[in-house]
């Protein structure tokens, strides 16, 4: 088997981080356009919220396919195909003339958007092991974390000179740029001899085997609920920013920038801690930070009847920092459970989390977003549930130690 020089971690982090940004860009760029879309299609806030939940539900269903498909035919081919479909779906959203048409193309966006994040995680574990994998995962998380801050700002800028379809034309351009970058600079990291081609029956059996693994579910649910505490606010951003904070449609950055700054800082600290601190201890610190953020958020909303800047945003920034410390540890623990089926494990982790986030966007956000205190209590509940699943797991078993033999990078095969 021939090999090429291993691509630099910087190049991989930029490409994989860009691919992971598709999801946040697909959700957050359209938040400032909700009033325009609602006016054009005569839709209320609950109906508009379905543009998020439909997207996430389709994302979750297809997440079951992306990873196993990349295990069978290679990572690069699946990413390129997904980006092509996403670009076409974004064109459909831009040309939609009714809310049902927009929802249909949003579902198609969701079906294709997951390739970057889901397959990208498998690429990281193909190329690196041990502390190197944690560092690269943290670098990708830092880039990924910028997207929710940039997306609503970009959406607001676009609305300053054009109507809401221009936001989806921007997503078309972004997908095409990623398509070119992947084609030119991302090597295939999953060689033919390592590929796993199950029959449909065997694929279902393998999925069931992973899903029914209690250790897998505890890690996946812990990570999903921990992130749901922040996603509840992201999904409720139109109500939280426009109604509660009394900001304008071009001021979503006041909410997203501090929050994502916390996530970027947490990702940086996670990378610095790789090889210096056990994963169990680092995840425990992250959950403690999330719990602290939940407590001060509830206290603030009990004390102040009308939230205002900047104090209403501080708990979200702290929470995001804790989430960023926890996420790489739980993800790598899941991937290391199934070294021959990393794509499938990544898919099922994403599926578990996305089903939860779909419920948050489609059910809990409309129920809680009318009251800032209810939002704070809902977020605290999610943090608590995530922590309890993680605590149960680490008190019965522990995160796997990093073997000394796995501390060196793995050189990917040639194209």
Per-residue pLDDT reduced to its tens digit, 301-347: 998 878 878 888 899 899 999 988 888 788 877 877 776 666 677 77
| 376-402 mean pLDDT | 81
CA distance 225 to 237: 18
Query: What's residue 85's pLDDT?
Result: 94
Of all residues in the chain, the percent with pLDDT exceeding 70 is 82
Cis peptide before 129 (omega within 30 of 0): no
CA distance 371 to 352: 28
CA distance 397 to 390: 10
Which distant-in-sequence residues (6+ apart) come within 8 Å of 239 by Cβ?
A: 45, 365, 369, 370
* Domains in the chain, CATH or no CATH each: 9-189+199-400 (1.20.1250.20)
Q: Which of 398, 329, 411 is nearest to 130 (CA)?
A: 329
19: number of Cβ within 10 Å = 27
pTM score: 0.66
CA distances for 170 relative to 113, 121, 146, angstroms: 15, 25, 17
CA distance 411 to 404: 17
DSSP string across 182-228: HHHH----S-GGG-----HHHHHHHHHHHHT-HHHHHHHHHHHHHHH
pLDDT, one tens digit per residue, over 240-267 is 888 888 887 667 778 777 887 888 788 7
CA distance 80 to 288: 39
């Amino acid at each position: 088997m021939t090999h090429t020089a291993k691509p630099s971690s910087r190049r991989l982090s930029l490409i994989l981080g860009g691919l992971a940004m598709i999801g946040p860009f697909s959700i957050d760029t359209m938040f400032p356009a909700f009033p325009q879309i609602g006016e054009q299609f005569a839709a209320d806030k609950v109906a508009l919220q379905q543009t998020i939940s439909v997207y996430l539900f389709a994302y979750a269903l297809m997440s079951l396919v992306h990873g196993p498909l990349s295990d069978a035919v290679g990572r690069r081919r699946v990413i390129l195909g997904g980006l092509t479909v996403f670009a076409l779906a974004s064109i459909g959203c831009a040309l939609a003339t009714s809310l049902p048409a927009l929802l249909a193309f949003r579902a198609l966006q969701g079906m294709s958007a997951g390739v970057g994040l889901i397959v990208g995680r498998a690429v990281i574990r193909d190329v690196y092991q041990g502390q190197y994998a944690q560092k690269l995962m943290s670098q990708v998380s830092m880039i990924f974390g910028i997207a929710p801050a940039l997306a609503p700002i970009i959406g607001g800028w676009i609305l300053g000179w054009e109507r809401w379809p221009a936001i989806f034309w921007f997503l078309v351009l972004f997908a095409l740029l990623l398509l070119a970058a992947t084609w030119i600079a991302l090597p295939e990291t999953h060689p033919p001899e390592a590929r796993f081609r199950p029959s449909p029956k065997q694929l279902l059996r393998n999925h069931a085997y992973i899903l029914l693994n209690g250790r897998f579910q505890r890690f996946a649910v812990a990570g999903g609920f921990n992130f749901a505490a922040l996603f509840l606010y992201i999904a409720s951003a139109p109500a939280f920013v426009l109604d509660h904070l009394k900001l304008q449609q071009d001021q979503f950055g006041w909410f997203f920038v501090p929050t994502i700054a916390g996530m970027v800082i947490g990702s940086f600290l996670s990378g610095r801690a790789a090889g210096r601190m056990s994963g169990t201890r680092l995840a425990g610190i992250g959950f403690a930070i999330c719990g602290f953020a939940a407590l001060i958020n509830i206290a603030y909303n009990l004390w102040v009847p009308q939230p205002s800047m900047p104090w209403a945003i501080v708990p979200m920034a702290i929470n995001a920092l804790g989430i960023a410390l926890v996420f790489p540890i739980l993800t790598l623990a899941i991937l290391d459970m199934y070294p021959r089926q990393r794509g499938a494990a990544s898919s099922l982790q994403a599926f578990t989390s996305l089903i939860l986030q779909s419920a948050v966007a489609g059910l809990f956000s409309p129920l809680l977003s009318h009251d800032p205190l209810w939002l704070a209590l809902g977020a605290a509940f999610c943090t608590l549930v995530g922590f309890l699943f993680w605590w149960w797991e680490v008190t019965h078993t522990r995160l796997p130690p990093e073997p000394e033999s796995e501390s060196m990078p793995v050189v990917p095969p040639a194209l």
